[in-house]
Structure 1
Amino acid sequence: MSVMEKTEEATVAGAREYLTFRLDQEEYGIDILKVQEIRGYEPPTRIANAPEFIKGVVNLRGTIVPIVDMRLKFNCTQADYNTFTVVIILNLRQRVVGIVVDSVSDVMELEPGSVRAAPDIESAIDNSCILGLGSVGERMLILLDIEKLMSSEDMGLVTTDE
């Protein structure tokens, strides 16, 4: 059975797969179907007057891809670039965007019953961009609606068709 068939089968059953990654001390999850590829970090070409969290752009096989440092976007205490730092290339509404994260953990399948609503608290992340909190054993994941987050007005990266 191919990976795609397994993903489709899991989706039909109600379970969803999330790519998990770390930012500072927190672990996040994004819909695996939005992920195009994972690459090592290389410094992008800086764009004048871009917000600090937009590190610049890279040329990915002929496509100019904006690179967002999620650690800066989420106000993490540190944003060190090391051998674990990676860029997750996302395909969102026909727009390709890269996000810089501390490290990628794994792909996790979550049943709907293991996802809880996120508490309504002030944070660096707009609450409407948090799908919920997923738990697997002792691990707690903050599940992001990455498409909504990347299309928020302050990002200005992905336009909505609504």
Structure 2
Amino acid sequence: MADIAATYSRPAIKWHETATAGYVVLALVVLIWAGFALTMRAMGKSPLATADVALIRFAVPAVALLPLLFGRLHLLRNVDSKAVLLVLAGGVPFYLVASAGAKLTSAAYVGALIPGTTPLAMALITRVFLRRKISARQVLPIGLILAGVVLMVAGQRDVVTAETLRGV
């Protein structure tokens, strides 16, 4: 009887298809978001201007990921050009607005508001630039996001200043 292991090979599992890889990526995302909130606050004490930090933040990943783009250029032909422009140009204005607000409020607020209000920002951006209507299905989640922001600020009304409100 022939060796079964020699006859039937095990299917190859790629490293990025494992649960461990998923946990590693998840941990990296959490670290990046935590670092984002902390660096937004630290910019106020840095000799770098907001534009300098934005250039570092956007240019380094763009250059690092550029080799991966060439093999996928054909996929971009199927994407709406307005959507591509929003992705390419949308990050910098958002970053500038977020960093202006972060200078006025705490890192805790930045850490909660930036990822927490992203769906709201996307709904507004697609409404303004792509003329997409906010669907009835989106109204409740958007309302909950807004209520969460109001409750977060109202819950600490004893320590919230006018400057903090401007930052929020």
TM-score range normalised by the length of the shorter chain: under 0.3
Name the TM-score, length of structure 2 as normaliser. Answer: 0.22
| Higher strand content, 1 or 2 | 1
Name the TM-score, length of structure 1 as normaliser. Answer: 0.23
| Higher helix content, 1 or 2 | 2
Q: Which has the higher contact order (CA 8 A, sep 6+)?
A: 2
Name which one, 1 or 2, has greater alpha-carbon Rg: 2
